[in-house]
């Protein structure tokens, strides 16, 4: 009897029977940066304007420094001159006064307050004019108030200040009273209080204190029926 042999297939081999283990690698996920959430605002921000470069020194500031130097005033800090962008520049001084320069007229002006409270303005072109302007401003004692533009005080305002001087008569009121009249009252004669008051208020003139001659003395004694007496002997 014929025997049958089973062919061994590769899958039935012991090596193939072994399970092969393979490592599973997962691909890396691509992460995208999250965009920030938009800010909600009712007012839209205006676009940023381009910054304009500022020069270190303008022409007006340079001319002002030179003009003040010619007048004998040293202003070393050029940036202290404020350029008004209209051809003029101003700089304060330590004493409270101001220097003003105008490029159109090429003039340097000094403005100061005098002791009377008014603003004096002088054009400076040399050290002598600068010194004279300072002396004139310091010695000013002229009232600068324009009284023609100030209205006068009313009668009620004068009465409130105690400066109202009205006449002593008044018109008749509703009751029909007569007008009042001013009656001058004589002042009493001053009485001498002491010998000093009598001497200071005496009406004797210099002629009354002159020495009398012999005839005047005899006439005075005869009028009073008196006889001259000899000086008593010791």
> Which pLDDT tens digit goes with each residue over 33-85?
777 776 666 677 777 777 766 677 889 999 999 999 999 998 888 889 999 98
Count of C-beta atoms within a 10 Å radius of residue 48: 6
Higher pLDDT, 205 or 185: 185
Give the whole-angstrom CA distance, residue 107 versus residue 124: 8
- Name beta bridge partners: 92: 98
pLDDT at 152 over 70: yes
Contact 58, 83 (CB under 8 A): yes
For the chain, the three-class secondary structure string (H helix, E strand, C coil) is CCCCCCCCCHHHCHHHHCCCCCCCCCCCCCCCCCCCCCCCCCCCCCCCCCCCCCCCCCHHHHHHHHHHHHCCCCCCCHHHCEECCCCEEEEECCCCCEEEEECCCCEEEEEEECCCCCEEEEEECCHHHHHHHHHHHHCCCCCCCCHHHCCCCCHHHHHHHCCCCCCCCCCCCCCCCCCCCCCCCCCCCCCCCCHHHHHHCCCCCCHHHCCCCHHHHHHHHHHCCCCCCCCCCC
Contact 89, 61 (CB under 8 A): yes
Contact 55, 62 (CB under 8 A): no
Per-residue pLDDT reduced to its tens digit, 77-112: 888 999 998 999 999 998 889 999 999 999 999 999
Give the whole-angstrom CA distance, residue 82 versus residue 115: 27
What is the value of pTM for the model shown? Answer: 0.42
**pLDDT band at residue 209, thresholds of 50, 70 and 90?**
confident
Burial class (CB in 10 A: 0-12, 13-18, 19+), 227: exposed
Structure tokens of 156?
Answer: 């009620």
**pLDDT band at residue 224, thresholds of 50, 70 and 90?**
confident
């Amino acid at each position: 009897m014929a025997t049958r042999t089973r062919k061994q297939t590769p899958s039935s081999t012991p090596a193939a029977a072994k399970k092969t283990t393979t490592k599973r690698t997962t691909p890396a996920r691509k992460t995208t940066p999250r965009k920030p959430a938009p800010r909600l605002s009712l007012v839209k921000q205006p676009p940023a304007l381009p910054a304009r470069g500022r020069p270190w020194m303008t022409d007006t500031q340079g001319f002002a420094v030179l003009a003040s130097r010619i007048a004998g005033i040293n202003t070393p800090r050029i940036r202290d001159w404020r350029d008004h962008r209209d051809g003029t520049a101003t700089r304060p001084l330590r004493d409270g006064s101001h220097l003003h320069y105008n490029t159109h007229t090429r003039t340097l002006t000094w403005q100061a307050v005098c002791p009377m409270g008014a603003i004096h303005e002088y054009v400076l072109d040399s050290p002598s004019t600068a010194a004279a302007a300072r002396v004139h401003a310091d010695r000013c004692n002229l009232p600068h108030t324009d009284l023609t533009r100030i209205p006068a005080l009313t009668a009620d305002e004068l009465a409130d200040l105690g400066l109202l001087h009205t006449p002593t008569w008044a018109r008749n009121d509703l009751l029909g009273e007569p007008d009042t009249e001013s009656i001058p009252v004589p002042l009493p004669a001053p009485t001498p209080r002491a010998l000093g008051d009598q001497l200071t208020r005496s009406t004797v003139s210099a002629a009354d204190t002159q020495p009398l001659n012999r005839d005047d003395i005899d006439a005075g004694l005869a009028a009073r029926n008196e006889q001259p007496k000899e000086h008593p002997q010791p």
